[in-house]
Amino acid sequence: MSASGQQAGDLRRPGSVVPQRVKQSLRAILNPVVRLAMALHLTPNGVTVIGLGLTIVASVLVGTGWLLVGAALLAVGSVLDAVDGALARAQGGGTPFGGFFDSTLDRSGEAILYIGIGAWLLRTQADPILPVILLMVALAGSFLVSYAHARAQGIGLAADVGLAPRTERLVLVIVGVALAGLGWTAGLIGALAIIAALTIVTVVQRIRHVWNLTQAAASESKEN
């Protein structure tokens, strides 16, 4: 099998927390939203900016204690995060700048959201040291997951494998914020702990995946 063939098969790619069939079903639900965006003549980049704006507002709400409202806005923002890519495909495919712009704003939104959560923890917890450390590990791990993916792309490989890509992390943090808004702060702290652990595992999975791909390519090169 060629290196490209092994990339297609992804060498027993480690699956994410959310099964692929569930993701495909959710994408199908987005079709009416995509059609609405097209009717409003929105561009994928415009949808990306709107999504970041919602995330900023939601983060401010979370930081000031309006957790349930913030979680609801984050959920809407997460839908828009999926819509921009679907809209780009519906309009004939994305552009290199569009992909760069989307990824950059996604990372920005993730950082802003964690700042909002951190502000709330510092304001409300008698001893915020452990929760804030978990938050920092979760944020650092999230950025490393994205960095590993970007660096793999830089050498021509795909590394979108692992337990906790962005969608899974976003779902966990929204659920955690909502639980805290309902009075169960341990739910948010637990979500941060899970994200921290899963992102570390995901980075290791991506490193191993890229290693396997490069070793397979090197073996094929020697055989030829």
Catalytic positions, please? 106
Cα dist from 196 to 139, 161, 171, 193, 199, whole Å = 8, 17, 14, 5, 5
Q: Is-contact 121 135, C-beta < 8 A?
A: yes
Rounded CA gap, 18 and 133, in Å?
26
Contacts of 18 (CB under 8 A, 6+ apart): 167, 168, 171
Of 138, 135, 136, 110, nearest in space to 196 by CA = 138
Region of 162 (left: φ > 0; alpha: ψ -120 to 50; beta: rest) is: left
